[in-house]
Amino acid sequence: MKQGFTYLFRFLLYLILIAPLLLFAAYAFSTRWFFPQPFPIEWTVGTFQRVVHDSQTLSSMVQGVGIAFLVSVLSLLLALPAARVLGLRKFRGRQLAWLLIFIPSIVPPLAVGMGLNILFLRIGLAGTITGVVLAHIIPTLPYTIFTLSSAFARFDENYEFQALALGASPLQIFLKVTLRMITPSLVVAALFAFLISWSQYLLTLLIGGGQIITLPILLFSAASGGNPATIAALSLLFVAPPVLVLAFTARSLNQHGNEIREQY
């Protein structure tokens, strides 16, 4: 009986997660599906092919993934030192530092974006990939710092002292010990940064100024166009990279989670 409930619960959970995707798939791969019909009658890959073969779709995806990747890397690099200090040390003004780090995600993104746009226009970063990447770092940084600082709060510096006493150089300690110890959180933080950047619409639009086209921008313009099949096809493409990244990291996360559990 109890097991039956578990299975039912699981089924419902999966259904909630998968149902929207199924709906998207139904829209994307059908044609002439109108109101009274409960299910599509004619199936076609035509719409999907058209969307995929549109050169703008592909380039927007490549650009979006590239930006998200760069944002992940830069955000991690910036977050590491801050997270280390915030996680390991107690100092006066720590709360204030946290507040400052979180302010960009509290202030409405429109306000941040507009202000940033004026600044970037002045220094020539508006409409460039560099500008968009820098702008994306603002909403991602609080999450990467937060995730990594909790890893450092659990981190015991004696591992580094051990490595030091055994003759490792500071660089070796960082690469062979510190990074390895916080890998699970590093993966999670990178994932956060990637997802936030990938789905960023407003900042890309404001800073990119129509010159940097990522998939959310295409999706928004398609959504206002009103062709459900195109919207559905683009939406499926939109969820593909996050799902892939998630699938890839879930495996390594599980593996590293076990290793962390082993040490206690």
Partner 1 sequence: MTTVNIISLNKTYPNQSLPVLKDFSLSLNDGEMVALLGPSGMGKSTLLKLITGIERPDSGDIQFDSSSILNVDPNKRGAVLMFQKSYLFPFLNVEDNIGFGLKVQGASSETIHTEVKRMLNLIGLPGIEKRKPGQLSGGEGQRVALARALVTNPKLLLLDEPLSSLDTTVRMNLQEAIRNIQRELGVTTIFVTHDLGEAMAMSDRMALLLNGEIVALDKPENLFHRPRSLAAARFMGVSTFLSGSQLPVKKDVCSSSEKMFAIRPEHIRIQKEACKDSTPGVVSDCVFRGEYIEYQVNINEMIVRARMPMPAPMFTHGEQVYVKFAEEYLFEVEN
For the bound state, the minimum distance from the C-beta of residue 167 to partner 1, rounded and expressed in Å, comes to 5
Residues 6+ apart with CB under 8 A from 87: 148, 149, 150, 151, 152, 153, 155
The residue within the footprint of partner 1, chosen from 3, 55, 224, 263 (CB under 8 A), is 263
Residue 234 neighbours by CB under 8 Å, 6+ apart: 51, 57, 215, 218, 219, 222
* 259 scored as a contact of partner 1 (CB under 8 A): yes
By the rule CB under 8 A, 159 interacts with partner 1: yes
Shortest Cβ 155–partner 1 spacing (Å): 12
Residue 214's alpha-carbon distances to 22, 130, 188, 200, 217, in angstroms, are: 24, 14, 23, 9, 6
The CB-of-257 to partner 1 minimum distance in angstroms stands at 12
Rounded CA gap, 209 and 113, in Å? 11
Among 162, 211, 227, 254, binds partner 1 (CB under 8 A): 162
Q: Which of 26, 78, 97, 168 binds partner 1 (CB under 8 A)?
A: 168
Nearer to partner 1, 186 or 196 (CB): 186
Question: What is the distance between the alpha carbons of residues 83 and 79, in angstroms, rounded to a whole number?
Answer: 6
Binding footprint of partner 1, residue count (CB under 8 A) = 23
Give the one residue of 151, 163, 196, 215 binding partner 1; rule: CB under 8 A.
Answer: 163
Whole-number Cα distances in Å, 58 to 63, 69, 224, 229, 233: 8, 16, 20, 18, 13
Residue 151 and residue 33: Cα distance in Å, rounded?
Answer: 50
Neighbours of 95 (CB within 10 A): 8
Least separation in angstroms between residue 223's CB and partner 1 is 45
Q: How far is the CB of 48 from partner 1 (least distance, A)?
A: 43
What gap in Å lies between CA 229 and CA 102, rounded to an integer? 39
Binding mask 127-156 for partner 1 (x = CB under 8 A): -----------------------------x
Q: What mask of x and - would describe binding to partner 1 in positions 177 to 206, judged by CB under 8 A?
A: x--xx-x-----------------------
CB of 136 to partner 1, least distance (A): 31
Closest to partner 1 by CB, 120 vs 155, is 155
Interface pick for partner 1 out of 26, 97, 129, 164 (rule CB under 8 A) = 164
User: In the set 118, 123, 166, 247, which binds partner 1 (CB under 8 A)?
Assistant: 166
Those residues with Cβ within 8 angstroms of residue 25's Cβ, 6 or more apart along the chain or in another chain = 232, 236
**CB–CB of 137/75 below 8 Å?**
yes
List residues near partner 1 by CB under 8 A.
156, 158-159, 161-169, 172, 176-177, 180-181, 183, 259-263
